[in-house]
Amino acid sequence: MVEPLKRSGKIERKGPVVLVIMDGVGFGKYQDGDAVKSAMTQNLDKFFETSPWTKLKAHGLAVGLPSDADMGNSEVGHNAMGCGRVFAQGAKLVENAIESKEMFRGETWKKLVENVKKNNSTLHFIGLLSDGNVHSHIDNLKAMVVEAKAEGVKRVRVHALLDGRDVGEMSALDYFDPFDEFLKDLSKDGDFDAKIASGGGRMVITMDRYNANWDMVRKGWETHVLGEGRQFDSAHDAITTLRKETGAIDQDLPPFVIAESGNPVGTINDGDSVILFNFRGDRALEITKAFEAEKLEEFDRKRHPKVEYAGMMEYDGDLHVPRQFLVSPPAIDRTMAEYLCKTGVTQFSISETQKFGHVTYFFNGNRTGKFDEKLEEYVEIPSDKVPFEERPWMKCAEITDRVISEIEKGEWKFIKLNYPNGDMVGHTGVFEAVVCSMEALDLQLGRLKSAIDKAGGILIITADHGNADDMYEHLKDGSVSRKANGDPKAKTSHSLNPVPCIIYDPCYSGEYSKTLREGLGISSIAATCISLLGYVPPEDYDKSVVTFN
């Protein structure tokens, strides 16, 4: 039950509290490869020199993941910041459901298995083939294939997307080759037939998000469902050949189809069952719509097979997408935005397309839509449809333009924004571009500071996880791992590093200690924002970094 927040009487500012989420910007462990330290960030440096700040945990147990070996990500990070507590997240929930066999006792799993047994048809798996544990985990897939065989399924096909983003940029064969052998071993008795059927880079096919580029989904549909595209004898041949021809890293490899005698081995047909084994929702919604929608306007499917389709999880709890899923997502309730609406606090949220859903849907506990139409406004700045290393500044200036305009209007007590630069450009692995992205972001921090000075507000600067701070692969001794030509090996995944929490308060008059609490996680951001807005946070929220005098 959400009740209005009580006034604390501890602090009051004329201007708004503005939460700035520098997506993917942490404190680097190594000097080499830290694009944040390498960038000229005069404004950010000044904040660190003159304002109270602390480090926050943004990975592993601090954001509800299985262990501290698991890197944080934008989804769980925004969940934690928005709800002020730590919930067990997708990776942990799926791991538990498989280990306990609860998933296989569920009605959805039983239905999909019985469907293919009844029709003597194929069970298909689509998803990211790696152990990144951000969108998926290869061990989950293996467990499902083994269970399918044990339950009498005769034919399995895997449509495997190359990662190179949450794992090493050229690590695909470390997953594909052993997995191919795993399937062959399961199939050697002749009563079970499991194969990789298609694939392609995750940033080229299937895994678009926020309706940014439906052409990716079209390519994925044609590859996985229709079996259209360039054919290869094996995934190994496809990956090695396409790497040589394109020079692309894994996430950017073109799609491929595995064929025998010119015939695709795994088209998806009427009567089949399909499981999207990714557990994270943002890049699962569009391909799910392609399977479930009776009419699809975004592209011509050419053929729409009648299948039993399920996602690993429910990707949108409000819209109930997909209609069938294997594991229930965390039930995140009583978010900060809901409390603020109940209290009558006006709120403005903004980012560009790539992170718009994070400051809205994920921040609000995986909830679509507003809590109060009269008190909230959401603004999405359309992202460029070009490789991020070609436009590393992204839309940070346009986001800032709008935020400054809204600060000057004086209508909002709480404003939150996400700058995607450090994360989206960080994933490209192009060090120079990431440095540029950080310098572009820094310019905007300076502009926000000036606006906050004029308005008499408070600026809270933080991040959801690290990325730009760790752009090179490192060996155990801390040295940079290098390619044969001597160049550093790029690291395209998130880091395990802590992130900043800076409080810039130009009207500070001693209301709270400038020594911020240490050892907290990013779930403390919600209570911090509520406290600085002048209210008492809910009792079960994780502590604010601020201690009032």
241 neighbors 230 (Cβ within 8 angstroms): no
Q: Which pair of tokens denotes residue 226?
A: 């229709």
Name which of 250, 298, 215, 255 is nearest 126 in CA terms: 255
Active site residue 74: yes
Q: CA-CA distance, 36 to 41, in Å (whole number)?
A: 8
Residue in this structure with the two tokens 């600085």, named with its chain if needed: 532
What burial letters (b/e) apply to 172-193, b meaning 16+ CB within 10 Å? Answer: bbebbeebbebbeebbeeeebb
Cβ atoms of 462 and 15 closer than 8 Å = no
Nearest to 28 by CA among 496, 521, 520: 496
Q: Which of 38, 74, 273, 349 is catalytic?
A: 74
- Spatial separation of the C-alpha atoms in residues 327 and 88, rounded to whole Å: 13
Q: Which amino acid makes up residue 42?
A: Q
The helix (run of H) or strand (run of E) holding residue 126 is strand 123-128
DSSP-derived secondary structure for 445-475: HHHHHHHHHHHT-EEEEE-SSBSTT--B-B-
The token pair at 57 is 């945990």
Ordered DSSP codes for 155-172: EEEEEEEE-SSSS-TT-H
In sign, the C-alpha dihedral spanning 337, 341, 345, 351 is positive
* Rounded distance between C-alpha atoms, residue 166 and residue 138, angstroms: 13
Residue 5 DSSP one-character state: P
Residue (of 57, 88, 523) closest to 279 by Cα position: 88
d(CA 367, CA 212): 20
Q: How many Å apart are CA 148 and CA 160, to the nearest integer?
A: 18
Q: DSSP characters for 374-424?
A: TTEEEEEEPPPSS-GGGSTTTTHHHHHHHHHHHHHHT--SEEEEEE-HHHH
Tokens of 322: 């997909």
Tokens matching residue 499: 């992130």
Torsion over CA of 201, 202, 208 and 212, rounded to 10 degrees? -60
Return all residues near 253 (Cβ < 8 A) that are at least 6 apart: 162, 172, 200, 201, 204, 239, 242, 243, 246
Alpha-carbon distances, residue 382 vs 236, 305, 396, 405, 501 (angstroms)? 37, 33, 11, 18, 28
Catalytic residue numbers, as ranges: 74
